[in-house]
Copies of this chain bind each other. A is one copy, B any other.
Amino acid sequence: MFESAALGRKYSDKEFEQKAPALRLRLFNAQRQCLKRRIPILIIVAGLEGSGRGAIVNMLSEWMDSKHVRNHIFWLPTDEERTRPRPWRFWRCLPPAGEIGVFYDGWYSEDLRRLCCKKINDAEFSKCMHQWCALESGLADAGMGIVKLWLHLDKKTHAANVNKRLNNKALLHFSPYDKKTAADYEGMVNAASRAITLTDRDNAPWSIIDAADPNFRVLSVANAVIAGMERAIAARDAREARLQQLATLETDSAPAEKETLISTLDAIDLSVSQQPEHYKKELKNLQESIRTLSYRTYQRGISCTLLFEGWDAAGKGGAIRRITSAVDARITRVIPISAPSDEELAHPYLWRFWRHIPRSGFVTIYDRSWYGRVLVERVEKLTPREDWSRAYAEINQFENQLTSRNNVLLKFWLHISPEEQLRRFKERENTPWKQYKITDEDWRNREKWSDYARAADEMFLRTSTVNAPWHIIPAENKKYARLAVLRAYEAALRAALKKKGKE
Protein backbone atom coordinates (compact mmCIF):
# COMPACT_ATOMS: atom_id res chain seq x y z
CA MET A 1 0.00 0.00 0.00
CA PHE A 2 2.72 2.44 0.94
CA GLU A 3 5.26 1.54 -1.76
CA SER A 4 4.60 4.60 -3.87
CA ALA A 5 4.71 6.81 -0.80
CA ALA A 6 8.25 5.76 0.01
CA LEU A 7 9.90 6.55 -3.27
CA GLY A 8 11.76 9.40 -1.67
CA ARG A 9 10.52 12.01 -4.11
CA LYS A 10 11.66 15.52 -3.35
CA TYR A 11 11.60 19.08 -4.57
CA SER A 12 14.57 21.39 -4.36
CA ASP A 13 13.92 24.74 -2.70
CA LYS A 14 14.02 26.32 -6.13
CA GLU A 15 11.39 23.97 -7.53
CA PHE A 16 9.30 24.55 -4.42
CA GLU A 17 9.47 28.33 -4.83
CA GLN A 18 8.33 27.91 -8.42
CA LYS A 19 5.38 25.67 -7.66
CA ALA A 20 4.19 26.94 -4.29
CA PRO A 21 2.62 30.33 -5.19
CA ALA A 22 0.15 28.96 -7.74
CA LEU A 23 -0.82 26.09 -5.47
CA ARG A 24 -1.22 28.38 -2.53
CA LEU A 25 -3.56 30.58 -4.49
CA ARG A 26 -5.60 27.58 -5.63
CA LEU A 27 -5.89 26.34 -2.05
CA PHE A 28 -6.86 29.75 -0.89
CA ASN A 29 -9.50 30.12 -3.60
CA ALA A 30 -10.93 26.69 -2.86
CA GLN A 31 -11.32 27.77 0.77
CA ARG A 32 -13.11 30.94 -0.35
CA GLN A 33 -15.51 28.85 -2.42
CA CYS A 34 -16.27 26.62 0.56
CA LEU A 35 -16.84 29.63 2.78
CA LYS A 36 -19.16 31.19 0.21
CA ARG A 37 -21.19 27.98 -0.08
CA ARG A 38 -21.04 27.41 3.69
CA ILE A 39 -19.44 23.97 3.26
CA PRO A 40 -17.60 22.73 6.36
CA ILE A 41 -14.28 20.98 5.70
CA LEU A 42 -12.68 18.45 8.00
CA ILE A 43 -8.99 17.69 7.51
CA ILE A 44 -7.54 14.78 9.45
CA VAL A 45 -3.74 14.97 9.68
CA ALA A 46 -2.53 11.53 10.68
CA GLY A 47 0.82 9.89 10.11
CA LEU A 48 3.89 8.25 11.50
CA GLU A 49 5.89 9.73 14.35
CA GLY A 50 8.30 12.32 12.97
CA SER A 51 6.43 12.69 9.70
CA GLY A 52 5.75 16.38 10.27
CA ARG A 53 2.08 16.47 11.28
CA GLY A 54 2.63 19.58 13.39
CA ALA A 55 4.37 21.35 10.50
CA ILE A 56 1.45 20.49 8.21
CA VAL A 57 -1.09 21.80 10.72
CA ASN A 58 0.85 25.08 10.83
CA MET A 59 1.23 25.25 7.07
CA LEU A 60 -2.53 24.85 6.58
CA SER A 61 -3.20 27.82 8.85
CA GLU A 62 -0.59 29.83 7.02
CA TRP A 63 -1.72 29.08 3.49
CA MET A 64 -5.42 29.49 4.15
CA ASP A 65 -7.37 32.31 5.73
CA SER A 66 -6.67 31.32 9.31
CA LYS A 67 -9.68 33.23 10.62
CA HIS A 68 -11.73 30.30 9.39
CA VAL A 69 -9.41 27.50 10.43
CA ARG A 70 -9.59 25.86 13.86
CA ASN A 71 -7.10 23.20 14.95
CA HIS A 72 -8.04 20.44 17.35
CA ILE A 73 -5.80 17.90 18.96
CA PHE A 74 -7.29 14.73 20.37
CA TRP A 75 -5.06 13.54 22.97
CA LEU A 76 -5.80 11.89 26.34
CA PRO A 77 -9.55 12.36 26.84
CA THR A 78 -10.79 14.50 29.75
CA ASP A 79 -13.18 12.93 32.23
CA GLU A 80 -16.09 14.75 30.59
CA GLU A 81 -15.12 12.98 27.39
CA ARG A 82 -14.34 9.62 28.93
CA THR A 83 -17.75 9.40 30.59
CA ARG A 84 -19.64 9.79 27.33
CA PRO A 85 -19.79 7.70 24.13
CA ARG A 86 -16.46 7.92 22.28
CA PRO A 87 -17.65 10.05 19.33
CA TRP A 88 -18.79 12.83 21.70
CA ARG A 89 -15.37 14.46 21.93
CA PHE A 90 -15.13 14.66 18.16
CA TRP A 91 -18.68 15.90 17.67
CA ARG A 92 -18.08 18.80 20.02
CA CYS A 93 -15.19 20.00 17.77
CA LEU A 94 -16.69 19.54 14.31
CA PRO A 95 -16.27 22.59 12.06
CA PRO A 96 -19.42 24.66 11.47
CA ALA A 97 -20.61 25.65 7.99
CA GLY A 98 -17.93 27.36 5.92
CA GLU A 99 -15.13 26.70 8.40
CA ILE A 100 -12.14 24.38 8.30
CA GLY A 101 -11.51 21.98 11.17
CA VAL A 102 -8.01 20.51 11.26
CA PHE A 103 -7.94 17.41 13.44
CA TYR A 104 -4.39 16.50 14.45
CA ASP A 105 -4.48 12.67 14.42
CA GLY A 106 -8.31 12.73 14.40
CA TRP A 107 -10.18 9.67 15.57
CA TYR A 108 -7.74 7.17 14.11
CA SER A 109 -4.63 7.64 16.12
CA GLU A 110 -5.73 6.18 19.43
CA ASP A 111 -7.00 2.99 17.80
CA LEU A 112 -3.83 2.64 15.73
CA ARG A 113 -1.73 2.88 18.85
CA ARG A 114 -3.94 0.49 20.76
CA LEU A 115 -3.72 -2.07 17.98
CA CYS A 116 0.02 -1.57 17.71
CA CYS A 117 0.40 -2.14 21.48
CA LYS A 118 -2.01 -5.09 21.31
CA LYS A 119 -4.43 -3.40 23.70
CA ILE A 120 -7.22 -4.37 21.32
CA ASN A 121 -7.49 -7.30 18.95
CA ASP A 122 -8.22 -7.32 15.24
CA ALA A 123 -11.96 -7.72 15.65
CA GLU A 124 -12.25 -4.82 18.07
CA PHE A 125 -10.10 -2.71 15.79
CA SER A 126 -12.32 -3.49 12.81
CA LYS A 127 -15.39 -2.58 14.82
CA CYS A 128 -13.87 0.81 15.67
CA MET A 129 -12.94 1.42 12.04
CA HIS A 130 -16.49 0.66 10.93
CA GLN A 131 -17.77 3.08 13.52
CA TRP A 132 -15.55 5.88 12.21
CA CYS A 133 -16.47 5.01 8.67
CA ALA A 134 -20.14 5.33 9.50
CA LEU A 135 -19.50 8.63 11.26
CA GLU A 136 -17.67 9.97 8.20
CA SER A 137 -20.44 8.84 5.88
CA GLY A 138 -22.99 10.64 8.00
CA LEU A 139 -20.95 13.83 7.98
CA ALA A 140 -20.34 13.60 4.24
CA ASP A 141 -24.07 13.07 3.67
CA ALA A 142 -24.70 16.20 5.71
CA GLY A 143 -22.49 18.11 3.27
CA MET A 144 -19.12 18.09 5.01
CA GLY A 145 -15.97 17.78 2.91
CA ILE A 146 -13.58 15.25 4.47
CA VAL A 147 -9.85 15.07 3.70
CA LYS A 148 -7.80 12.35 5.39
CA LEU A 149 -4.04 12.60 5.17
CA TRP A 150 -1.64 9.84 6.09
CA LEU A 151 1.93 11.19 6.25
CA HIS A 152 4.20 8.30 5.42
CA LEU A 153 7.96 7.75 5.78
CA ASP A 154 10.28 5.04 4.59
CA LYS A 155 11.79 2.98 7.37
CA LYS A 156 15.18 4.65 7.29
CA THR A 157 13.92 8.22 7.43
CA HIS A 158 11.47 7.23 10.17
CA ALA A 159 14.26 5.74 12.27
CA ALA A 160 16.40 8.84 11.81
CA ASN A 161 13.58 11.23 12.73
CA VAL A 162 12.50 9.20 15.74
CA ASN A 163 16.06 8.95 17.01
CA LYS A 164 16.48 12.69 16.72
CA ARG A 165 13.35 13.05 18.84
CA LEU A 166 14.16 10.50 21.46
CA ASN A 167 17.47 12.23 21.99
CA ASN A 168 15.75 15.57 22.40
CA LYS A 169 15.09 15.86 26.10
CA ALA A 170 12.85 18.86 25.58
CA LEU A 171 10.25 16.80 23.78
CA LEU A 172 7.61 15.16 25.87
CA HIS A 173 5.74 12.00 25.10
CA PHE A 174 2.26 12.94 26.01
CA SER A 175 0.36 9.71 25.87
CA PRO A 176 1.45 6.45 27.47
CA TYR A 177 1.33 4.79 24.06
CA ASP A 178 3.38 7.50 22.37
CA LYS A 179 6.80 6.25 23.26
CA LYS A 180 6.04 2.59 22.69
CA THR A 181 4.54 3.19 19.27
CA ALA A 182 6.88 5.94 18.10
CA ALA A 183 9.70 3.55 17.31
CA ASP A 184 7.60 0.59 16.18
CA TYR A 185 7.66 1.22 12.43
CA GLU A 186 6.29 -2.15 11.33
CA GLY A 187 3.56 -2.13 13.95
CA MET A 188 2.27 1.33 13.08
CA VAL A 189 2.55 0.83 9.33
CA ASN A 190 0.65 -2.42 9.64
CA ALA A 191 -2.07 -0.79 11.76
CA ALA A 192 -2.31 2.16 9.39
CA SER A 193 -2.58 -0.07 6.39
CA ARG A 194 -5.49 -1.92 7.99
CA ALA A 195 -7.19 1.32 8.97
CA ILE A 196 -6.84 2.77 5.50
CA THR A 197 -8.14 -0.38 3.83
CA LEU A 198 -11.19 -0.42 6.09
CA THR A 199 -12.04 3.29 5.91
CA ASP A 200 -11.13 4.46 2.41
CA ARG A 201 -14.41 5.60 0.87
CA ASP A 202 -15.46 7.82 -2.01
CA ASN A 203 -16.91 10.40 0.35
CA ALA A 204 -13.88 10.37 2.66
CA PRO A 205 -10.82 9.05 0.82
CA TRP A 206 -7.33 8.77 2.26
CA SER A 207 -4.40 10.60 0.69
CA ILE A 208 -1.10 8.90 1.39
CA ILE A 209 1.66 11.46 1.42
CA ASP A 210 5.35 10.78 0.93
CA ALA A 211 6.49 12.92 3.83
CA ALA A 212 10.26 12.44 3.90
CA ASP A 213 11.00 15.66 2.03
CA PRO A 214 9.39 18.75 3.60
CA ASN A 215 8.94 20.48 0.24
CA PHE A 216 7.33 17.49 -1.42
CA ARG A 217 5.18 16.93 1.65
CA VAL A 218 3.78 20.45 1.69
CA LEU A 219 2.93 20.49 -2.00
CA SER A 220 1.34 17.04 -1.86
CA VAL A 221 -0.79 18.04 1.11
CA ALA A 222 -1.90 21.23 -0.62
CA ASN A 223 -2.92 19.19 -3.68
CA ALA A 224 -4.82 16.68 -1.57
CA VAL A 225 -6.70 19.38 0.34
CA ILE A 226 -7.57 21.25 -2.87
CA ALA A 227 -8.89 18.02 -4.38
CA GLY A 228 -10.97 17.36 -1.26
CA MET A 229 -12.46 20.83 -1.28
CA GLU A 230 -13.23 20.67 -4.98
CA ARG A 231 -14.95 17.34 -4.42
CA ALA A 232 -17.07 18.87 -1.66
CA ILE A 233 -17.92 21.88 -3.82
CA ALA A 234 -18.96 19.65 -6.72
CA ALA A 235 -21.09 17.54 -4.40
CA ARG A 236 -22.77 20.63 -3.00
CA ASP A 237 -23.47 22.10 -6.41
CA ALA A 238 -24.86 18.79 -7.66
CA ARG A 239 -27.10 18.62 -4.62
CA GLU A 240 -28.41 22.15 -5.09
CA ALA A 241 -29.17 21.42 -8.74
CA ARG A 242 -30.92 18.18 -7.80
CA LEU A 243 -33.05 19.85 -5.15
CA GLN A 244 -34.00 22.63 -7.52
CA GLN A 245 -35.03 20.11 -10.13
CA LEU A 246 -37.08 18.17 -7.62
CA ALA A 247 -38.79 21.35 -6.48
CA THR A 248 -39.86 22.01 -10.06
CA LEU A 249 -41.12 18.46 -10.47
CA GLU A 250 -43.14 18.59 -7.30
CA THR A 251 -44.74 21.86 -8.23
CA ASP A 252 -45.68 20.49 -11.64
CA SER A 253 -47.08 17.16 -10.55
CA ALA A 254 -50.38 16.65 -8.78
CA PRO A 255 -50.25 16.31 -4.99
CA ALA A 256 -49.60 12.74 -3.90
CA GLU A 257 -52.86 10.94 -3.16
CA LYS A 258 -53.57 10.35 0.48
CA GLU A 259 -54.03 6.64 0.70
CA THR A 260 -56.03 5.29 3.59
CA LEU A 261 -53.50 4.22 6.10
CA ILE A 262 -53.89 1.72 8.85
CA SER A 263 -51.70 3.36 11.42
CA THR A 264 -49.86 1.89 14.37
CA LEU A 265 -51.51 4.63 16.36
CA ASP A 266 -55.02 3.53 15.33
CA ALA A 267 -54.36 0.27 17.08
CA ILE A 268 -53.72 1.95 20.42
CA ASP A 269 -56.50 1.49 22.92
CA LEU A 270 -57.18 4.97 24.22
CA SER A 271 -59.97 3.87 26.54
CA VAL A 272 -57.61 2.72 29.27
CA SER A 273 -58.08 4.71 32.42
CA GLN A 274 -56.76 5.07 35.90
CA GLN A 275 -58.79 4.85 39.06
CA PRO A 276 -58.17 8.11 40.89
CA GLU A 277 -58.06 6.50 44.33
CA HIS A 278 -55.06 4.37 43.40
CA TYR A 279 -53.24 7.03 41.42
CA LYS A 280 -51.67 8.94 44.28
CA LYS A 281 -50.43 5.85 46.01
CA GLU A 282 -49.01 4.23 42.93
CA LEU A 283 -47.40 7.49 41.82
CA LYS A 284 -45.68 7.79 45.17
CA ASN A 285 -44.49 4.19 45.13
CA LEU A 286 -43.15 4.42 41.61
CA GLN A 287 -41.38 7.72 42.29
CA GLU A 288 -39.74 6.38 45.42
CA SER A 289 -38.64 3.28 43.60
CA ILE A 290 -37.23 5.31 40.70
CA ARG A 291 -35.41 7.60 43.10
CA THR A 292 -33.73 4.64 44.77
CA LEU A 293 -32.94 2.92 41.49
CA SER A 294 -31.51 6.07 39.96
CA TYR A 295 -29.07 6.47 42.85
CA ARG A 296 -27.94 2.95 42.13
CA THR A 297 -27.59 3.54 38.40
CA TYR A 298 -25.66 6.69 39.24
CA GLN A 299 -23.25 4.70 41.39
CA ARG A 300 -22.80 2.12 38.69
CA GLY A 301 -22.18 4.68 35.96
CA ILE A 302 -25.32 3.88 33.98
CA SER A 303 -26.65 6.97 32.24
CA CYS A 304 -30.23 7.49 31.07
CA THR A 305 -31.47 9.30 28.01
CA LEU A 306 -35.23 9.78 27.84
CA LEU A 307 -37.10 11.46 25.04
CA PHE A 308 -40.69 12.51 24.68
CA GLU A 309 -42.60 12.95 21.45
CA GLY A 310 -46.33 13.02 20.79
CA TRP A 311 -49.25 15.21 19.82
CA ASP A 312 -49.45 18.77 21.05
CA ALA A 313 -51.16 18.81 24.47
CA ALA A 314 -50.59 15.08 24.93
CA GLY A 315 -49.10 15.72 28.37
CA LYS A 316 -45.35 15.51 27.77
CA GLY A 317 -44.55 18.26 30.26
CA GLY A 318 -46.65 16.70 33.01
CA ALA A 319 -45.06 13.29 32.51
CA ILE A 320 -41.57 14.80 32.56
CA ARG A 321 -42.27 16.64 35.81
CA ARG A 322 -43.37 13.38 37.45
CA ILE A 323 -39.88 12.07 36.62
CA THR A 324 -37.93 15.17 37.66
CA SER A 325 -39.71 15.28 41.00
CA ALA A 326 -38.62 11.66 41.55
CA VAL A 327 -34.98 11.74 40.46
CA ASP A 328 -32.41 13.82 42.37
CA ALA A 329 -32.17 17.22 40.68
CA ARG A 330 -28.39 17.03 40.92
CA ILE A 331 -28.16 14.29 38.33
CA THR A 332 -31.03 15.28 36.00
CA ARG A 333 -31.32 17.75 33.17
CA VAL A 334 -34.32 18.56 30.99
CA ILE A 335 -33.51 19.80 27.50
CA PRO A 336 -36.47 21.38 25.73
CA ILE A 337 -35.95 21.25 21.98
CA SER A 338 -37.19 24.26 20.05
CA ALA A 339 -35.75 26.29 17.18
CA PRO A 340 -31.99 25.74 16.80
CA SER A 341 -29.46 28.53 17.39
CA ASP A 342 -27.26 29.64 14.51
CA GLU A 343 -24.32 27.68 15.92
CA GLU A 344 -26.54 24.62 15.92
CA LEU A 345 -27.80 25.28 12.41
CA ALA A 346 -24.23 25.56 11.17
CA HIS A 347 -23.49 21.97 12.22
CA PRO A 348 -24.73 18.55 11.11
CA TYR A 349 -28.24 17.89 12.35
CA LEU A 350 -27.38 15.63 15.28
CA TRP A 351 -24.78 18.03 16.71
CA ARG A 352 -27.30 19.89 18.87
CA PHE A 353 -28.36 16.64 20.52
CA TRP A 354 -24.85 15.30 21.01
CA ARG A 355 -24.18 18.48 22.99
CA HIS A 356 -26.44 17.37 25.81
CA ILE A 357 -25.71 13.63 25.97
CA PRO A 358 -25.47 12.71 29.67
CA ARG A 359 -22.25 11.69 31.37
CA SER A 360 -22.25 8.22 32.86
CA GLY A 361 -24.58 8.09 35.85
CA PHE A 362 -26.54 11.17 34.79
CA VAL A 363 -30.01 11.58 33.28
CA THR A 364 -30.97 13.75 30.29
CA ILE A 365 -34.62 14.17 29.36
CA TYR A 366 -35.32 15.59 25.91
CA ASP A 367 -38.69 17.34 25.60
CA ARG A 368 -39.06 16.71 21.87
CA SER A 369 -35.97 15.38 20.19
CA TRP A 370 -34.00 14.44 17.08
CA TYR A 371 -37.20 12.87 15.75
CA GLY A 372 -38.30 16.37 14.76
CA ARG A 373 -36.32 15.63 11.59
CA VAL A 374 -38.80 12.98 10.44
CA LEU A 375 -41.90 14.58 11.97
CA VAL A 376 -42.29 18.36 11.85
CA GLU A 377 -39.44 18.93 9.38
CA ARG A 378 -40.92 16.33 7.06
CA VAL A 379 -44.56 17.36 7.33
CA GLU A 380 -43.92 21.09 7.16
CA LYS A 381 -41.44 20.54 4.31
CA LEU A 382 -38.68 22.33 6.22
CA THR A 383 -36.14 19.74 5.07
CA PRO A 384 -35.79 18.11 1.65
CA ARG A 385 -36.95 14.52 1.36
CA GLU A 386 -33.43 13.25 0.71
CA ASP A 387 -32.32 14.59 4.08
CA TRP A 388 -35.18 13.41 6.25
CA SER A 389 -35.39 10.04 4.57
CA ARG A 390 -31.70 9.51 5.32
CA ALA A 391 -32.32 10.49 8.94
CA TYR A 392 -33.80 7.11 9.96
CA ALA A 393 -30.46 5.42 9.42
CA GLU A 394 -28.54 8.30 11.02
CA ILE A 395 -30.80 8.19 14.05
CA ASN A 396 -30.50 4.43 14.43
CA GLN A 397 -26.74 4.72 14.30
CA PHE A 398 -26.78 7.57 16.81
CA GLU A 399 -29.02 5.64 19.20
CA ASN A 400 -26.85 2.59 18.79
CA GLN A 401 -23.94 4.62 20.14
CA LEU A 402 -26.08 5.78 23.04
CA THR A 403 -27.15 2.30 24.04
CA SER A 404 -23.79 0.64 23.55
CA ARG A 405 -22.23 2.21 26.60
CA ASN A 406 -24.29 1.62 29.73
CA ASN A 407 -26.84 4.10 28.58
CA VAL A 408 -30.54 3.42 29.06
CA LEU A 409 -32.45 4.97 26.18
CA LEU A 410 -36.23 5.35 26.48
CA LYS A 411 -38.39 6.78 23.72
CA PHE A 412 -41.96 7.77 24.56
CA TRP A 413 -44.75 8.73 22.22
CA LEU A 414 -47.75 10.10 24.11
CA HIS A 415 -50.86 9.39 22.12
CA ILE A 416 -54.28 11.10 22.30
CA SER A 417 -57.26 11.35 19.98
CA PRO A 418 -57.99 14.49 17.94
CA GLU A 419 -61.13 15.02 20.05
CA GLU A 420 -59.19 14.96 23.29
CA GLN A 421 -56.65 17.37 21.84
CA LEU A 422 -59.44 19.79 20.95
CA ARG A 423 -60.79 19.58 24.50
CA ARG A 424 -57.33 20.30 25.94
CA PHE A 425 -56.65 23.17 23.54
CA LYS A 426 -59.90 24.79 24.69
CA GLU A 427 -59.09 24.17 28.32
CA ARG A 428 -55.69 25.80 27.79
CA GLU A 429 -57.29 28.84 26.26
CA ASN A 430 -59.33 29.21 29.41
CA THR A 431 -56.51 28.79 31.95
CA PRO A 432 -54.52 32.00 32.35
CA TRP A 433 -51.08 30.41 32.82
CA LYS A 434 -51.65 27.90 30.06
CA GLN A 435 -52.76 30.31 27.37
CA TYR A 436 -49.21 30.78 26.15
CA LYS A 437 -49.05 27.10 25.41
CA ILE A 438 -51.61 27.40 22.68
CA THR A 439 -50.71 29.29 19.53
CA ASP A 440 -51.91 29.60 15.97
CA GLU A 441 -49.27 27.07 15.07
CA ASP A 442 -50.90 24.46 17.28
CA TRP A 443 -54.20 24.94 15.46
CA ARG A 444 -52.41 24.71 12.10
CA ASN A 445 -50.59 21.53 13.12
CA ARG A 446 -53.90 20.04 14.15
CA GLU A 447 -55.21 20.36 10.63
CA LYS A 448 -52.35 18.18 9.43
CA TRP A 449 -53.18 15.37 11.85
CA SER A 450 -53.19 12.66 9.18
CA ASP A 451 -49.86 13.83 7.72
CA TYR A 452 -48.30 13.68 11.16
CA ALA A 453 -49.86 10.28 11.80
CA ARG A 454 -48.36 8.99 8.56
CA ALA A 455 -44.94 10.40 9.48
CA ALA A 456 -45.16 8.95 12.99
CA ASP A 457 -46.09 5.61 11.54
CA GLU A 458 -43.08 5.44 9.29
CA MET A 459 -40.94 6.60 12.20
CA PHE A 460 -42.15 3.75 14.45
CA LEU A 461 -41.56 1.31 11.64
CA ARG A 462 -38.00 2.40 10.92
CA THR A 463 -36.66 3.35 14.33
CA SER A 464 -38.21 0.93 16.79
CA THR A 465 -35.14 -1.22 17.31
CA VAL A 466 -34.35 -3.99 19.76
CA ASN A 467 -32.17 -1.79 21.93
CA ALA A 468 -34.28 1.30 21.51
CA PRO A 469 -37.96 0.45 21.05
CA TRP A 470 -40.70 3.07 21.06
CA HIS A 471 -43.08 3.15 24.00
CA ILE A 472 -46.40 4.31 22.66
CA ILE A 473 -48.37 5.47 25.67
CA PRO A 474 -52.15 5.93 25.55
CA ALA A 475 -52.47 9.39 27.08
CA GLU A 476 -56.17 10.16 26.80
CA ASN A 477 -56.16 9.73 30.56
CA LYS A 478 -53.27 11.82 31.91
CA LYS A 479 -52.88 9.90 35.11
CA TYR A 480 -52.78 6.59 33.31
CA ALA A 481 -50.11 7.97 30.97
CA ARG A 482 -47.92 9.30 33.74
CA LEU A 483 -47.96 6.02 35.59
CA ALA A 484 -47.27 4.12 32.38
CA VAL A 485 -44.22 6.30 31.70
CA LEU A 486 -42.91 5.85 35.22
CA ARG A 487 -43.50 2.10 35.05
CA ALA A 488 -41.54 1.83 31.83
CA TYR A 489 -38.71 3.90 33.30
CA GLU A 490 -38.63 1.83 36.46
CA ALA A 491 -38.51 -1.39 34.46
CA ALA A 492 -35.69 -0.05 32.28
CA LEU A 493 -33.65 0.93 35.32
CA ARG A 494 -34.14 -2.50 36.88
CA ALA A 495 -33.16 -4.23 33.65
CA ALA A 496 -30.02 -2.11 33.28
CA LEU A 497 -28.94 -2.80 36.86
CA LYS A 498 -29.56 -6.50 36.42
CA LYS A 499 -27.55 -6.58 33.21
CA LYS A 500 -24.74 -4.62 34.85
CA GLY A 501 -24.78 -6.94 37.84
CA LYS A 502 -24.12 -9.90 35.55
CA GLU A 503 -21.09 -8.33 33.91
Q: Footprint of B on A, CB under 8 Å?
A: 21, 24-25, 28, 32, 53-55, 57-58, 61-63, 65-68, 70-73, 75, 78-80, 104, 170-172, 174, 288, 291-292, 295, 298-299, 317, 321, 324-325, 328-334, 336, 338, 341-343, 367, 432-433, 436-437
Give chain B nearest CB distance to A311 CB in angstroms. Answer: 17
Chain B residues near A25 (CB, 8 Å)? 432-433
Are the C-beta atoms of B324 and A61 separated by less than 8 Å?
Answer: yes
CA distance A24 to B163 in the complex (A): 72
For A434, give the chain B residue with the smallest CB separation: B28
CA distance A174 to B361 in the complex (A): 12
Are the C-beta atoms of A330 and B295 separated by less than 8 Å?
Answer: no
Are the C-beta atoms of B54 and A317 separated by less than 8 Å?
Answer: no
Known: A58-B321, A321-B58, A341-B342. A330 touches B433 (CB 8 A): no
24 A–B contacts, CB within 8 A, in A order: A25-B432, A25-B433, A28-B436, A54-B328, A54-B329, A54-B330, A58-B321, A65-B436, A65-B437, A66-B336, A67-B336, A67-B367, A68-B336, A71-B334, A73-B331, A78-B79, A79-B79, A79-B80, A104-B329, A170-B291, A170-B292, A172-B298, A172-B299, A172-B328
CA distance A32 to B329 in the complex (A): 25
Known: A32-B436, A78-B80, A80-B79. A333 touches B71 (CB 8 A): yes
Copies, count: 2
Give chain B nearest CB distance to A28 CB in angstroms. Answer: 5
Q: Using A58-B329, A72-B333, A172-B298 as known contacts, list a sample of 17 further A-B pairs with CB atoms less than 8 Å apart, ordered by residue number in A.
A: A25-B432, A53-B329, A55-B325, A61-B324, A65-B436, A66-B317, A67-B338, A70-B333, A70-B334, A71-B329, A73-B330, A78-B78, A78-B79, A80-B80, A104-B329, A174-B330, A343-B343
Chain B residues near A73 (CB, 8 Å)? 329-331
Chain B residues near A55 (CB, 8 Å)? 325
CA distance A128 to B436 in the complex (A): 41
Are the C-beta atoms of A61 and B174 separated by less than 8 Å?
Answer: no
Name A's interface SS: helix
Chain B residues near A65 (CB, 8 Å)? 436-437
Chain B residues near A317 (CB, 8 Å)? 66
Chain B residues near A79 (CB, 8 Å)? 78-80
Known: A79-B78, A170-B291. A28 touches B330 (CB 8 A): no
Contact of A171 among B68, B71, B295, B334 (CB under 8 A): B295
CA distance A55 to B58 in the complex (A): 53
Give chain B nearest CB distance to A75 CB in angstroms. Answer: 6
CA distance A295 to B367 in the complex (A): 46
Chain B residues near A172 (CB, 8 Å)? 295, 298-299, 328
Chain B residues near A71 (CB, 8 Å)? 329, 332-334
For A337, give the chain B residue with the smallest CB separation: B67
For A174, give the chain B residue with the smallest CB separation: B330
The 7 A-B residue pairs whose C-beta atoms are closest, nearest first, are A170-B292, A54-B329, A67-B336, A73-B330, A28-B433, A342-B342, A79-B79
Most buried by B among A331, A333, A433: A433
For A318, give the chain B residue with the smallest CB separation: B62
Contact of A58 among B54, B325, B338, B343 (CB under 8 A): B325
CA distance A19 to B26 in the complex (A): 71
